Amino acid sequence: MKPLVTVERRWQIAIATAAGVATICGGAGVAYAGGGGGLGSPSPPELSDVADAGTLARATGSKRPTGAGFALGRSRVNPETAFFDGERPIRLRYSFRAQRRLDLVIRVVERGEGGQTVRRWLERDLSPARIHRRRWDGRLQDGDPAPDGAYAFRVGPVGHAGTPAGKLALHDHLFPVAGAHAYGDPFGEPRSGGRVHEGQDLPAACGTPLVASRGGRVQAQGYSDALYGHWVLVDGLASQRDYFYAHLQAPTPLADGERVHTGEPVGAVGMTGNARSEFCQLHLELWPAGYRNGNPEDPAPLLRAWDEFS
């Protein structure tokens, strides 16, 4: 009787044959040319790409596909509450036991029913009994920001569903006032000279730290004595939206063109500009298509949502 050929083995043979380098040695395996094990090298698909666990187990005659005795050791994810492009990047630390060095698949999956994979990495030729690390910036596989939600890391050999390695809650924004605050003058309120209020005021004690609600790059910063006082404008990462922070206590520590991450300092609450006759506050404007390109949006609904978890 001919030995059974697994789905994964057929896939490997097909790749090797297409490259013109298929070599089967004593039935022990398939050799194929690659780019030195780099990202350009062909690699076997994940179990979800070729078969379910039951199908593959039946084909190999075992309860599960071989993983050289793989067992996940200690693992940890920090921080457990994270932000897209955050000041504190998402870090997975893990170790594993196995009979030999392995290629491992690391996945970020949605927690809950279905557990769809949102990000995947193939880590090649890893040594057992050592600490390994993986960082995630909160992006999906296509580069877009992952939606707010609960996620988990899974780690395992190619062809395995993976072992849970840690979980986190991810948010794409952070409330900008890092301290006690209130909600002041709202968006759209009439102003002198036929103007309307283009943002939301957030009263807070002078000197209260202000942080970037969304990472990005500083588009401009400056001072307006008549209106905004010290201000800074941040072009949001992976978004058309611009974030305008005004009435800062002093000039922002950020320079034009400087990269800033979600949660990093942009200044402190002040009462500069026309706020000098009122109270200490942050004036925040959101411009969905870029600053002065189209109309601003009312920040209040988003601010109240960010306020819930910040």
pLDDT 10s digits, 188-216:
999 888 899 999 999 999 999 999 999 99
**In this model, does residue 165 exceed pLDDT 60?**
yes
Q: Which CATH architecture has domain 66-171?
A: Sandwich (2.60)
Residue type, 217: R
How far is 290 from 294, CA to CA, in rounded Å?
A: 8
**In this model, does residue 185 exceed pLDDT 50?**
yes
pLDDT 10s digits, 141-162:
999 999 999 999 999 999 898 9
pLDDT at 193: 83
pLDDT at 29: 32
- Domain 192-309 annotated CATH 2.70.70.10: yes
How far is 72 from 291, CA to CA, in rounded Å?
A: 49
pLDDT 10s digits, 72-88:
999 999 999 999 999 99
How far is 99 from 203, CA to CA, in rounded Å?
A: 61
**Quick check: 202 and 282 in contact, CB under 8 A?**
yes
Which residue's entry shows tokens 């993976």?
162
pLDDT at 21: 33
Mean pLDDT estimate for the chain: 83
- Output the six-digit token pair for 43: 């690699």
For the chain, give every domain's residue range: 1-65, 66-171, 192-309
What 3-state class would DSSP assign to 170?
strand
**In this model, does residue 226 exceed pLDDT 80?**
yes
- Output the six-digit token pair for 12: 């490997």
Beta strand ranges found along 46-176 (DSSP E): 71-78, 81-83, 90-97, 102-110, 117-126, 132-136, 149-157, 163-171
Q: What is the pTM of this model?
A: 0.76
**In this model, does residue 13 exceed pLDDT 60?**
no
pLDDT band for 248, please (50, 70, 90 cuts). Answer: very high
pLDDT 10s digits, 31-71:
323 333 333 333 343 333 333 333 333 333 333 444 689 99
How far is 12 from 22, CA to CA, in rounded Å?
A: 9
| Mean per-residue pLDDT, 221-245 | 97
